[in-house]
Amino acid sequence: MRIAAALLLGSDGRTLLVRKRGTQAFMQPGGKIEAHEQPVQALARELEEELGLQIDPAQARHLGVFSAPAANEPGFVVQAEVFLLRIDAPVSPAAEIEEICWIDPAGDNDLVLAPLTGEVILPFYRATHLATC
């Protein structure tokens, strides 16, 4: 499964995670890339649908392509085009998003995290960005 996902950073340095309705794991916002879309276009569409957030795709910095077991589909692997975005606009859960949570990407938290978030994206961010700030 190919998705576009965002590492959204607020002005205070915290990152936004979402939890879909009927699931336990928090994950990066984003979603499936449609056949006719570029990854950054899919991300912009998903962020607007899920969070009411309008972004300028030119401001999204591509971090890379990351893979991990899918959180909500056992036996599947998710391949994510991940983009870093800094935002200061308000967001609220919409569509299939039941809950949002701002966390410190450098710290431990007691949330259940999707494998892509907890094992790949947050460690990558801590290793490559927090160490250089």
The pLDDT value given to residue 130: 67
pTM of the model: 0.93
Across the chain, what does the average pLDDT equal? 93
Indicate whether 106 pLDDT > 90: no
Mean pLDDT to the nearest integer, 62-72: 95
Indicate whether 132 pLDDT > 70: no
Indicate whether 4 pLDDT > 90: yes
What number of CA atoms fall less than 13 Å from residue 71's CA on the CB side?
A: 22
Domain that holds residue 105: 2-130
Indicate whether 79 pLDDT > 60: yes
Mean pLDDT to the nearest integer, 58-76: 94
Name all contacts of 31-39 with Cβ < 8 Å and 24+ positions apart.
Answer: 31/3, 31/4, 32/1, 32/2, 32/3, 33/2, 33/3, 33/4, 33/81, 39/4, 39/81, 39/83
Tens digits of per-residue pLDDT, 16-66?
Answer: 999 999 999 999 999 999 999 999 999 999 999 999 999 999 999 999 999
The pLDDT value given to residue 133: 47
Find, among 67, 58, 44, 51, the residue nearest to 17 by Cα.
51
Q: What is the CATH number of the domain that holds 12?
A: 3.90.79.10
Instruction: Provide the number of structural domains found in the chain.
Output: 1
Q: How confident is the model at residue 73 (pLDDT cuts 50, 70, 90)?
A: confident
